[in-house]
Structure 1
Amino acid sequence: MERTEDAGDRAESPGQPSEGPANAPTEGVDEINDFEQDNLTAHSLEESHWTGTETVVSQDDVPDALLLNLFCARAKAPKETEDSLIEAEESWQPVREWLGSHDAEQVRAAAEQRGENGLTAIHFACRNVPPLDVIDVFLSIAADTVQWPDGFGWLPIHYACASGSEEAVIKALAEHFPESKTATDGRGRTPLHFALGDKPASPDVIFLLSSSGAASFPDDIGMLPLHYACAFGASEEVLYVLTDAYPEAITSRDKRQRTPLHFALSNAGRKTVPAAVRLLLSLDRRIVNSVEGGPLPLSVLAAYAAIVRNEDENRDKRESVQRCLEHLLHAEPEPTADFFTALQSLPDWLSERAVVMPVVQILLNEKISQRFPTAVLMMDFYVLTMVIISYSHNVVNSIQRRFDDDDTNDTIATKSLIPLYLGVAYFALREVVQIMSLLSLKVFKLWLYDPSNYLNVAFIALVLSWTVVMDSGAGDRDTFRVGAAVSVTILWVKLLAYLRNMLIDFAVFVGGVFYVVRRLAAFLLALGLILVAFAQMFYTVFQQTDYCRNQPQNDLDYDLILAETRCDASTLRPYCGFWTSFLSVYTMLLGEVDEDDFESSGVAMALFVIFMFLVVILLANVLIAIVTDSYKVIQYQRAAIVFWTNRLDFVAEMDAIANGPWKSRVKKSLGMLDQDEDGAQQRDVFGKDLWKQIMDLFEDDSFDGMSTVDFIAFALLRVVACVFIIPMWLLLGIVTVGWFWPPQVREAVFTSKVSKHSSDTAKEDELRRTQVKQLQQDVIEMRDDLLQELALDRTQIVQMKSQVAERKLEIANEMKQVKRLVTMLFERQIAFSA
């Protein structure tokens, strides 16, 4: 087996796969290739001698007893092309001729010649996919050599399995030495490990090798044959054989706590991997979660998906990865903090597929309706509203103080700025806790890649900065007025971002704005160039004309004319300066047109007509068409993706804060015991039964009449519930940021309708289930038919036996009759003779 790159050049993580054996998908398989490289290096001098890669020894210089080794080493393994198959077949002809020209003793002596590293002729032959007739000669004349390991513990069957030899060859080697099926090399690997490499054997060979228990043999790093099969993308039939031979292999972990599922997902782009993932999860769903500190399978898939970039070149790989993702999510993994951060780390093209799956949306709804996320959402709204109101009031007050000549104090009372300080402290604490949580999960990059975090930092910095300026009275008054006015934008954008996480309409709007801007990049650039061009043309046409000669030359004249004429600045000559010309062209695009400015010049009028047609009529309508089309895309095709992606970001943030590893560490450092999950769940359903009983009051109408005692009692209870209990309970929840709301209220307020999504994988699974049910029904019907046929056959057999017995009796009677007749004839013949 060849190796094209060093193991040190490849990533050690199981989540960073690559194709083929030389580019091993995991560290465990890297070590396979490392050992093979060591083996090849150790044999390099001897192999170069035999194969002639270095001109050291010619064929005439090799003793006759060693020619067999030379010819076997120079034989070529077949490749995929037809020419290579012919060349490989011809390369074994010297071996056949040598074997045919020597007697058995000479062949035996040559076959037992061992090289420096213990290799014999059968070792060399098995490395090059030998034909069965050659192996039969070795096994018939020098059968003992099949039991001889080389210097690294490899038997000939190890080489045959590693080279992808024919089934008949491997079967012959195993039959002559059955113990070889469980023989291990220096690193604990059986021939079955090698049969599952880059040249996978057929399911029949895998069944043959695993029948002796080899499927349960781990190598020196704890990898079972099933790990190898998943790492190299074995077929579903092979996986069935391995899991049937050793079912415990599904949950077995190597020394880094990796199951076969991790190795399959590390090469999720292979066509065979989705079937492997489906099979493994169908046999044991527990492996979809992290086991004893091992990596989360979804994180492994995310790491692989990150390297699949180009959509056109990797279309098949993307489809395979998406199907693997759907199999993982349909297995219902535990909604831990690691799970949500892994969902966040998926690339956009894969995350968009995940968030529209009902199983993910259900989990997000469950999480966001819990107490802590609900409390944070409501607290965000309260604090943000408080900051916006306080900021608007204090900025206006500060500006008035700064421009009031009678007031020498430009500062604002600190007590009126307390809401701003508290708001900044709250949001700053949220960001710090979020960063700590992500650091504890080792996914801080998610914070860096999330644009909303930069909005939060800008919000905190601006509000704090202007609050300090208002508190100290520092800064120029004009600079403060402009800066504070611009900063208001951040406050309202922050509120819009909050509403984006709450309502799908706002999510669609925000997503639509960014989507439309991206789509308009080329159009806006072209429009800007056209506006600049026309501004330059108008500015040039009117230079040194009567139109511009009476134009004011300085700001003093400009202000004087405005004061005297009491006219608007737009009535002055707008095309006598480049900047005013550009502004006028821009306003013409928006519909503010004064054609009187162009009547003095025919060229100017022509340019005006061209501008109106090209820009105002044509480009403006193109702009409207692009915006409308783009917004429809985001509204009808990407609305659910945008909304649920935003909700995933928030839920992941809350879950990282509430349930991240830092929580257990803090409790441990403080000597606190972790509360059991059942207790936490009971606290989270506070008031659920009571609220249900209150709601049942409005559904029970089974009364005989309105004058009955039961009806009057229920009516009074309904009035009390509507007037006192429900309003007071809802008000208590509002005051306590939803903490004392029953789960039903939180679900009604914060959950969203789950999208109906039917993926190709779901359809395929449903089809498989239907086919399995149909097959089971067919088997039952066939069994009944067979039983009926067997019963009928038994009856026919009994009848046939009876008939045969009757025939036998008739024949016996007839034979007796014939015997008596013959006896009578003999007696009469004797009497006649006498």
Structure 2
Amino acid sequence: MSFHHSHHSHRHRHHHDDNDQYEDPTGVEVDGLVGDGPYEMEMLGDFGRLEQQQQYTREQPQQEDSSFIMDDILLLNHFCANAFPPRDDSEEAQIAADRSWEPVHHWILNHDANEFRAAAEQRDDAGKTALHFACQFNPPKEIIDIFLSAAADIVQWPDSFGWLPIHYACAYGAATDVIQSLADAFPESKTTVDRKGRTPLHFALGTSNYNSTDVLVLLSSTGAASYPDDNGMLPLHYACAYGASEEALYVLTDAYSDAITTPDRRGRTPLHFALSNAGRKASPAAVRLLLSLNEDQVNSMNGGPLPLRVLSEHAATLKEDEEQRESVENCLKYLLAAKPDPTADFFTALQSLPSFLQERAVVMRVVQELLNEKIAQRFPTAILLLDFYMQMLVVVFYSLAVEQSINRRFGGAADTSSDTAYCIVLYAGATYFFMREIIQVFSLISLKALHIWVYEPGNWLNVMYIIYMYVITGFMTTGKGNDDYFRIGAAAAFAFIWVKFLAYLRNILIDFAVFSGGVFHVMRRLMAFLICLMIILIAFSRMFFTLFVASADCKTNPPPTAEQLDLELIEESLDIKVWCTGWDSFLRVYTMLLGEVDEDDFGGNTFAIMLFVIFMLLVVILLANVLIAIVADSYKVIQDQRAAIVFWTNRLQYIAQMDAIANGPWKSRLRTCMGMSAIDRTHNVKVTFGKDLWRRFMELFEYEVDEGVFSFEFLCSIILRICALIFIPFWIIGGAVVAGWLWPPQIRQKLFTQAVSKHSSESDKEEQLRKTQIQRLQVEIDDLREELMQELAMDRTQMVQMKSAVAERKLEIQNEMKHIKRIVTMLFEQQGSS
């Protein structure tokens, strides 16, 4: 007895120690959800701890020693605690689990009702009875029925943490009929909460392998679906976190529809929990259901996180698992189909998606329409035009400034006034790009998305461009620095200028986006080829060098004298050999690869000529054709399969930058300083300046006059068209001068928008068909519900009538029995008198 009692005391003292962070069988860590992310819920509760403790109990030898003898009344607890559920779905596991309950059956058969009741009412230090233990291990229904018939009160007894037996049964996935029996024996248990505010419904949904809709209907029938725990989490939060089935979610949303938009203590709705586990197979159905019931939750609500950002954080943790990626992509499709508001936070979240998910997003029609809508707004258009103007100014004035600076350094020119004017323009251009990057960085910091700027290679190109322009312009202004090094640096600056200009063009024209994407894709594909080519070139160069080094030809060429400085004299007096040094050999082999060959280079060496023939066959003919095949194939992949992805990804990066700048902290502070109200960032105000006027101008050229050419109406139309032809060019040019700010929306759309996908994918068509079928099914369910309600009302009426008829019939039978009794009594009396 002493061993058993102390053993359970040890088992549960740690289990319910209030000083420790509480963990329970549902796997939910109440004081902060465990896992890598703030939404991830793992099965780290008491399951593992109880398994170890139960294994420890089973391994204790049942010795004959009197020191280990246990009180008979405590054996029931011991046997229930040592039973176990099936390990898997196999028949052998079920047989083994059934045998684990044989000691319990045997003990019950050998004790009367009073002894059983006394044993069932025994508690350990944690307040657990044998029924609590039994409910942990998927017990047979007959065992539970015996407990409920012989000791019915214990079903109402909570342990020291407020858990009833039904809490344990739900947490460990007991059979439906077992939970039904426990609920019928104590109906109030369905809404009984433990010390953390959780009902049995929370526990049932806190296990990823338990989705019995019958149990959920039973537990939620008395309003348990509306009970939040201490974290503010409803059962629907648990269901979405653990990947409950779509049918289970329907039960919970029907029982308490407000749960869809109810946030927990941290502002997280059930949608957030579904997206934080988007890799699960059931998550897409959950996301689709939640958004179909309320599309508004696709945006940030009540200060909570943006759902798309939650999906992005989860997707970044996925491994190379096709099934998980497919589930995440489906969740993304349902999110974007709900048409979220095109806020700065939305675009930065879209940009922070992993590459495989971002490529899927940018080809969706809804995203492309949003990007086109954004690029045609005033601010992104103005920045595009200002970038173009500054790029052109830098290109033109840098070329002029470099030429003047080199003439001054090497030609002795003294006039520096033009240099200074050119450099002022260059400083202005570099400062413009510098301020743009600074504003973008601070804007992303305010949106908590600085990592997007850090991981974007184009931003680092901009930083290098700005620094280089400041440095090289400073050397041109001051005239300092080594002249030769300045010439080299000035030449290298042209590479930065034109690469940046190409990066600009890829944001507005799909052909340039495909080209730049193709270049990088080809370079990645050519990495192995280039390494092999370099090895072959080095090998041949060393072979040629070995054949000619220290030969007579390499020793007969003295260095030129001062009198032979003229190039023609050098060429005549000096027979240049190309194999005498390692570097010269490598350069010569490289030029041979490009087709430059001179037979005199081999000096009649037979082996060198053989090497040359092999080199031409292996490198020039074979590898050159392999190179052409790789480049053509790689570029075709970009052009045919990834053209839209490359362009719309570039467009997304630009729009995310512009939206971050447009909604950055500088704008709010400026409006505050000017005494203006803050801007509502959740809704974008569409500017329609000049839209109607431009439309009317265009209608002038579409309008056909029915009257003759000499009619007054025709004359007026001609005059109006001439006025329009005069005014429109001035309008376009004037708008271009102010960076498109005065253009009507039609011009910006014409210049910068790109055609979107017009054909729906097969999955989209199937989804639309599914929605139609669901709507029809809902109508049929409503009709069926009405019919059932009417039939139930009629049945209740008939039952009342039947009860009345049975009562009347019972009264008649009683009267008849009394009459028969009197007759029989009279017969006995007459027989006795005779």
Quick one: which of 124, 132, 143 aligns to 1:123? 132
Give TM-score, length-normalised by structure 1: 0.85
- 1:707 Cα deviation from its structure 2 partner: 1.9
- 1:664 Cα deviation from its structure 2 partner: 3.5
Report if aligned partners of 1:51, 1:70 keep a CA contact under 8 Å in 2.
Answer: no
- 1:563 Cα deviation from its structure 2 partner: 2.3
1:443-462 equivalences in 2 (<5 Å): 443-462=449-468
Indicate the residue corresponding to 1:437 in structure 2: 443
Indicate the residue corresponding to 1:807 in structure 2: none
Separation (CA, whole Å) in 2 of partners of 1:24 and 1:59: 45
For the pair 1:397 / 2:404, whether they are aligned, the reply is yes
- CA shift digits 1:265-309 (9 cap, x unpaired): 111110110111111111111111111211111111111111113
- 1:49 Cα deviation from its structure 2 partner: 8.4
For the pair 1:633 / 2:637, whether they are aligned, the reply is yes
- 1:661 Cα deviation from its structure 2 partner: 5.4
Indicate the residue corresponding to 1:366 in structure 2: 373
- 1:28 Cα deviation from its structure 2 partner: 6.9
Indicate the residue corresponding to 2:348 in structure 1: 341
Separation (CA, whole Å) in 1 of partners of 2:663 and 2:690: 23
- 1:548 Cα deviation from its structure 2 partner: 3.4
Report if aligned partners of 2:707, 2:713 keep a CA contact under 8 Å in 1.
Answer: no
- 1:52 Cα deviation from its structure 2 partner: 5.5
Indicate the residue corresponding to 2:423 in structure 1: 417
Report if aligned partners of 2:345, 2:447 keep a CA contact under 8 Å in 1.
Answer: yes
Quick one: which of 69, 79, 94 aligns to 2:77? 69
For the pair 1:331 / 2:338, whether they are aligned, the reply is yes
Percent same amino acid at aligned positions? 54
Indicate the residue corresponding to 1:706 in structure 2: 709
> Relative to structure 1, is the Cα distance of residues 334 and 776 closer, same or farther in structure 2, using a 3 angstrom cutoff?
closer
Report if aligned partners of 1:26, 1:231 keep a CA contact under 8 Å in 2.
Answer: no
Indicate the residue corresponding to 2:692 in structure 1: 689
1:219-618 equivalences in 2 (<5 Å): 219-310=229-320, 314-405=321-412, 407=413, 413-550=419-556, 552-554=557-559, 556=561, 560=565, 562-564=567-569, 572-598=576-602, 600-618=604-622
For the pair 1:183 / 2:213, whether they are aligned, the reply is no
> Relative to structure 1, is the Cα distance of residues 59 and 697 closer, same or farther in structure 2, using a 3 angstrom cutoff?
farther
- 1:100 Cα deviation from its structure 2 partner: 1.4
> Relative to structure 1, is the Cα distance of residues 778 and 437 closer, same or farther in structure 2, using a 3 angstrom cutoff?
closer
Indicate the residue corresponding to 2:175 in structure 1: 166
Separation (CA, whole Å) in 1 of partners of 2:615 and 2:529: 17
- 1:740 Cα deviation from its structure 2 partner: 0.3
- CA shift digits 1:418-442 (9 cap, x unpaired): 1111111111100000000011111
> Relative to structure 1, is the Cα distance of residues 660 and 164 closer, same or farther in structure 2, using a 3 angstrom cutoff?
farther
Indicate the residue corresponding to 2:159 in structure 1: 150
For the pair 1:642 / 2:646, whether they are aligned, the reply is yes
Separation (CA, whole Å) in 2 of partners of 1:778 and 1:220: 39
Indicate the residue corresponding to 1:751 in structure 2: 753
Quick one: which of 91, 97, 100 aligns to 2:100? 91
Separation (CA, whole Å) in 2 of partners of 1:767 and 1:444: 41
Report if aligned partners of 2:506, 2:512 keep a CA contact under 8 Å in 1.
Answer: yes
Separation (CA, whole Å) in 1 of partners of 2:125 and 2:77: 12
- 1:781 Cα deviation from its structure 2 partner: 13
Quick one: which of 738, 741, 744 aligns to 1:739? 741
2:334 counterpart letter in structure 1:
H
Report if aligned partners of 2:564, 2:570 keep a CA contact under 8 Å in 1.
Answer: no
Secondary structure at the aligned position of 2:407 is classed as: helix
Give TM-score, length-normalised by structure 2: 0.85
Separation (CA, whole Å) in 2 of partners of 1:479 and 1:548: 33
Moved more, 540-549 or 520-529: 540-549
5+ residue gaps, structure 1 = 5-9, 11-16, 791-834
- 1:543 Cα deviation from its structure 2 partner: 3.0
- CA shift digits 1:488-542 (9 cap, x unpaired): 1000101000001010111111111111000000000100110111111112222
- 1:763 Cα deviation from its structure 2 partner: 3.2
1:300 counterpart letter in structure 2:
V
Separation (CA, whole Å) in 2 of partners of 1:466 and 1:659: 34
For the pair 1:720 / 2:723, whether they are aligned, the reply is yes
Indicate the residue corresponding to 1:653 in structure 2: 657
Separation (CA, whole Å) in 1 of partners of 2:289 and 2:573: 77
- CA shift digits 1:577-623 (9 cap, x unpaired): 22222111111111112234336011111111101100010000000
Secondary structure at the aligned position of 1:633 is classed as: helix
Separation (CA, whole Å) in 2 of partners of 1:650 and 1:317: 30
1:15-164 equivalences in 2 (<5 Å): 27=38, 36=46, 61-82=69-90, 83-164=92-173
> Relative to structure 1, is the Cα distance of residues 558 and 364 closer, same or farther in structure 2, using a 3 angstrom cutoff?
farther
Separation (CA, whole Å) in 2 of partners of 1:680 and 1:297: 19
Separation (CA, whole Å) in 2 of partners of 1:249 and 1:459: 53
Indicate the residue corresponding to 1:13 in structure 2: none
Indicate the residue corresponding to 1:823 in structure 2: none
Secondary structure at the aligned position of 2:87 is classed as: coil
- 1:574 Cα deviation from its structure 2 partner: 1.7
Indicate the residue corresponding to 1:830 in structure 2: none
Report if aligned partners of 2:161, 2:195 keep a CA contact under 8 Å in 1.
Answer: yes
- CA shift digits 1:31-62 (9 cap, x unpaired): 9956x58x969x999x7886566999999621
Report if aligned partners of 1:512, 1:635 keep a CA contact under 8 Å in 2.
Answer: yes
Moved more, 560-569 or 349-358: 560-569
2:626 counterpart letter in structure 1:
V
Indicate the residue corresponding to 2:222 in structure 1: 212
Separation (CA, whole Å) in 2 of partners of 1:113 and 1:617: 91
Report if aligned partners of 1:502, 1:750 keep a CA contact under 8 Å in 2.
Answer: yes
Give the alignment's Cα RMSD to 1 decimal.
3.3
Indicate the residue corresponding to 1:821 in structure 2: none
- 1:576 Cα deviation from its structure 2 partner: 2.5
Separation (CA, whole Å) in 2 of partners of 1:220 and 1:678: 31
- 1:732 Cα deviation from its structure 2 partner: 1.1
Separation (CA, whole Å) in 2 of partners of 1:446 and 1:757: 31
Secondary structure at the aligned position of 2:533 is classed as: helix
Separation (CA, whole Å) in 2 of partners of 1:51 and 1:781: 56
Separation (CA, whole Å) in 1 of partners of 2:309 and 2:764: 22
Report if aligned partners of 2:33, 2:39 keep a CA contact under 8 Å in 1.
Answer: no
Separation (CA, whole Å) in 2 of partners of 1:701 and 1:428: 53
Separation (CA, whole Å) in 1 of partners of 2:524 and 2:607: 37
Secondary structure at the aligned position of 1:575 is classed as: coil
Separation (CA, whole Å) in 2 of partners of 1:498 and 1:394: 23
- 1:559 Cα deviation from its structure 2 partner: 6.2
2:78 counterpart letter in structure 1:
L
2:548 counterpart letter in structure 1:
F
Report if aligned partners of 1:76, 1:88 keep a CA contact under 8 Å in 2.
Answer: yes
5+ residue gaps, structure 2 = 1-10, 16-20, 22-27, 792-834
Report if aligned partners of 1:269, 1:318 keep a CA contact under 8 Å in 2.
Answer: yes
2:714 counterpart letter in structure 1:
F
Report if aligned partners of 1:25, 1:266 keep a CA contact under 8 Å in 2.
Answer: no
Report if aligned partners of 1:323, 1:761 keep a CA contact under 8 Å in 2.
Answer: no
- 1:704 Cα deviation from its structure 2 partner: 2.7
Secondary structure at the aligned position of 1:681 is classed as: coil
Report if aligned partners of 1:337, 1:656 keep a CA contact under 8 Å in 2.
Answer: yes
